[in-house]
Amino acid sequence: MIESVPGWFHQLPPDLQTALIRAPHRVLDADQVQVLSQRSGVVGDAYFVSHGGRSEGFRLAPAVVAGIEAETRRRTAWWNALQPATREGLIEHVNGEVPAEFRDDALSPGPALLTDTSSSGGSVSGQPFTFDPFTRAYIAAQID
């Protein structure tokens, strides 16, 4: 079975996406549970944890955690292969268009995680780009 992040993950607020990437096994706080419960299909992807009569709270289902962890590992391999100057540039522009000067370096180490912003239909090599939603949240999680 291929592990993947459920579609609802990308509908979450960016700060919650980042928190779940940093710690997908976390016990969800009341605000996070409320946000998750407002998304279609999410309630079935979380479960309540209780040990020895003591309630811990809600956590994401193991399959969802596995998907988040698999995508995080993929991005970590990519991220670690980038030069520090490229990482800094990507962090600086993570929430908007990334200048074309970073394109080759961002593509060189691995998976295609970029979204082209050019609508010309022509070559995109000199065009700015953005990241897919999970990669954007992953990069945000790298900021301390």
Structural domain that includes position 137: 7-141
User: Does a structural domain hold residue 2?
Assistant: no
The better pLDDT of the pair 107, 64 is held by 64
Number of neighbouring beta carbons within 10 Å of residue 53: 5
pTM of the predicted model, to two decimals? 0.79
End-to-end CA distance of the chain: 34
Nearest CA among 49, 113, 54 for reference residue 81: 113
User: Does a structural domain hold residue 33?
Assistant: yes
User: Which residues, 6+ apart, have CB-to-CB distance to 41 below 8 Å?
Assistant: 6, 7, 8
- pLDDT band for position 53 (50/70/90)? low
Nearest CA among 102, 108, 111 for reference residue 134: 111
Burial class (CB in 10 A: 0-12, 13-18, 19+), 20: buried
Tell me: pLDDT of 68 over 90.
yes
Per the structure, how many domains does the chain have? 1
Tokens of 141: 């999680």
User: Does a structural domain hold residue 68?
Assistant: yes
According to DSSP, the β-strands at 129-131 and 114-116 are antiparallel
Tell me: pLDDT of 143 over 80.
yes
- 3-state class of 98 per DSSP? strand
